[in-house]
Copies of this chain bind each other. A is one copy, B any other.
């Protein structure tokens, strides 16, 4: 019998494994992020996620820079993966974004999202979007609310490995 048998929180490896599987499952059916926007899920860990997107023609607005809405979308997707990473269905309640620099054609934008607080069903997550030169493009803050249900079946967590 191990110590983790007594704890309510999954052991770190289990939590990381669960987050990774939740992320892969969500991403596989996320047409908007994967197919329409062309994002790549770099990592999904407990309370954290990283997503990358290269600015292509389809992202350009009339000023020939990346539409701010798509920078928001990149951050919002990262937020979704970070706050669903515990396998509790979680939705965005509100978000704010500050745009600091434009994204240009060919720029590789990386968004890293980190949980700031999670208390009961509500959490605050901060996303930072940087370009390939390490410049901060945007800062996004999201507020999450857990709802009913899980992303992947809970039985899948337990596994039935011998």
Q: How far is the CB of A162 from chain B (nearest CB, A)?
A: 32
Q: How far is the CB of A145 from chain B (nearest CB, A)?
A: 10
The answer for the CA separation of A14 and B73 in the assembled complex, in Å, is 36
Contacts of A57 in B (CB 8 A): 31
Contacts of A83 in B (CB 8 A): none
The answer for the CA separation of A27 and B63 in the assembled complex, in Å, is 10
State which residues 51-97 of A face B: CB under 8 Å: 57-62, 64, 66-70, 72-77, 80, 91-97
Whose C-beta in chain B lies nearest to the C-beta of A60? B31
Given contacts A31-B58, A76-B67, contact A117 B93 (CB under 8 A): no
Given contacts A117-B139, A119-B100, A143-B94, contact A69 B76 (CB under 8 A): yes
The answer for the CA separation of A127 and B31 in the assembled complex, in Å, is 26
Given contacts A94-B98, A143-B94, contact A59 B36 (CB under 8 A): yes
Given contacts A68-B76, A69-B74, A74-B69, contact A96 B141 (CB under 8 A): yes
Given contacts A58-B36, A67-B73, contact A117 B94 (CB under 8 A): no
For the complex of A and B, 8 pairs with smallest distance between CB atoms: A69-B73, A32-B67, A96-B96, A30-B62, A69-B76, A26-B62, A36-B58, A29-B62
